[in-house]
Chains A and B, each alone.
Chain A
Amino acid sequence: MEAAVKNIFYKFFFTLGEFITDGVDGLGRISIFTGRFFYWAIRPPFRFRLLFEQLYFIGNRSLFIIILSGAFTGMVLAYQTYFGFKLINVDTLVGPVVAISLSKELAPVLGGLILAGRCGAAMAAQIGTMKVTEQIDALEVMGINSIQYLAIPRIIATTFALPMLSIIFLLVGGVGAFVIGTKTLLIDEALFYSKLGEFMFLEDMYQGIIKAFFFGFVISVIGTYFGFQVRQGAEGVGKGTNFAVVWGMISVLVLDYFLTSFLIKVL
């Protein structure tokens, strides 16, 4: 009995130790990868064609899902807020509450989660497939830095595309909330506008844009990093893609907390 308990304790601490060392090891590796990004990002050759290709893929090709998500998020939020606020007779505040929620939190966070799923996965899968089919080796043998060629355009493009997509998310969400608020819930249009002007400030938007900038960076670093880490064929590509999505999403949520607590004090 005593031996069995000892065994359980041993297993528990062994697993815990392994989890911690793996985590520290992973963090170290991703930090080195990020360092390499900064080192190579400022060194020629600068491949603008690749950057624009990625901006098109990450920005333009994500527009549909961002607009769709933004519109429905705004509409749902308007509904939920309205019925809560009506109980205490402040239903005219639906506009600013929805707009502030969208600009500070929902647009960057949901936009980040969407991009982690769509683009983080694509990055890990593309780079991972190139890794297992020796295409990355082919680049290196030609004398081309694979991080500079594959990771840098993707990371820069995502870092700048996500803030833009967040703004679109916010605008579309705002329109959705306005339509539902004024046409379905019959809030007075003039009141909707005036309350928005009274409670919503430009600083609220800055907070969301700054967050989106960091989320974009983190999602793309994670996506490309797990792509380069892929081993063992198709199974490895699947694992890498899975890790890229899961850790991309977790990072967005965790980083959101720390950024919020920091930005609230600064802005």
Chain B
Amino acid sequence: MDEIAISFKNVSKAFKDHVVIDNLNFEVKTGKITTILGFSGAGKSTLLKLVLGLISPTSGVVQVLGRGLNSLSKVQLREFRRNFGMLFQYAALFDSLTAYENVAFPLKEFTALNKSQRDAKIQGLFESVGLDSKAAQKYPSELSGGMRKRVGLARALALNPAIILYDEPTTGLDPITTKMVNELIVSTANKTKGLTSLIISHDVRATLEISDYVAFLNRGKIVEYLSADEFRNSNNPLVQEFVNL
């Protein structure tokens, strides 16, 4: 039986009277690439924030790596977040730092590595995401969208996370860069044993190519959760509508 990295047990989240996540029961398997698809406003970003513990559920329990996030204090939660790496939609690189400094940032903050150890680690990370040393000295504004994603991924992987989260990784990218990002997601998952990848997206084609499992979120509920192949052939009219858009 597969191990579970993230589980939602009867989770609801409402902002004032507006219910965004509605009694959700859902599990993400360890070491697999799982994508949550859904229309805009379906609750995908809220779901991601719940996984990270950035917001608390109105009711229910979110468990990550076997720990209920609601049982953790704010300080414990901050420490616990080091189990996550996250690639943001626009990479969210610190614009006052070079690509190298961006990747070095979590290592400086949370590890006791000396400079040479840190340099070796960063070089390894840069190689793993296909970046050369020239890019390392550039600021985010000097990098292309694809390069920024690579640097963002290198930064996300710096602390060897158990779970990596991707927020709309291919939205707004050209087809070639989309392909590159997809390959990067798969190669990252393959290279790192046991790494759980959770992708939030509405890019159906890319999702079905790279995911092991796909969930479809609609109005705060998971209406379909299947392997990628099964998902493609799902009879659910909502899924069909979304897939055939």
Q: Which residues in A have some Cβ–Cβ distance to B below 8 Å?
A: 129-130, 133-135, 137-138, 140-145
Please state if A143 and B110 are interface contacts (CB–CB under 8 Å).
yes
Q: Tally chain B residues at the interface, Cβ within 8 Å.
A: 21
Min distance, Cβ A228 to any Cβ of chain B, angstroms = 15
Sample (12) of A-B pairs whose CB atoms are under 8 Å apart: A133-B92, A135-B92, A138-B86, A138-B93, A140-B52, A141-B54, A141-B81, A141-B86, A142-B159, A143-B79, A143-B81, A143-B110
Please state if A145 and B78 are interface contacts (CB–CB under 8 Å).
yes
Q: Return the chain B residue nearest A49 by Cβ.
A: B108
Min distance, Cβ A39 to any Cβ of chain B, angstroms = 11
Please state if B82 and A143 are interface contacts (CB–CB under 8 Å).
yes
Please state if B106 and A134 are interface contacts (CB–CB under 8 Å).
no
Point out the residue from A138, A141, A143 that lies within 8 Å of B94, measured CB to CB.
Answer: A138
Min distance, Cβ A122 to any Cβ of chain B, angstroms = 12
Besides A130-B94, A133-B92, A135-B93, 5 other A-B contacts (C-beta < 8 A): A133-B95, A142-B106, A144-B78, A144-B109, A145-B78
Judge if B139 is at the interface, Cβ distance under 8 Å: no
CA gap between A135 and B79 in the complex, in Å? 18
Please state if B82 and A135 are interface contacts (CB–CB under 8 Å).
no
Min distance, Cβ B10 to any Cβ of chain A, angstroms = 25
Judge if B26 is at the interface, Cβ distance under 8 Å: no
Contact A134/B90 with A142-B82, A143-B79 known, Cβ cut-off 8 Å: yes
Please state if B109 and A137 are interface contacts (CB–CB under 8 Å).
no
CA gap between A140 and B54 in the complex, in Å? 8
What 5 pairs between A and B have smallest CB-CB spacing?
Answer: A134-B92, A138-B92, A143-B81, A143-B78, A141-B86
Contacts of B86 in A (CB 8 A): 138, 141
Min distance, Cβ A159 to any Cβ of chain B, angstroms = 23
Interface string of B30-62 (1 = CB under 8 A from A): 000000000000000000000010100000000
Contact A141/B106 with A134-B88, A134-B90 known, Cβ cut-off 8 Å: no
Tell me the B84-122 residues at the A interface (CB within 8 Å): 84, 86, 88-90, 92-95, 105-106, 109-110
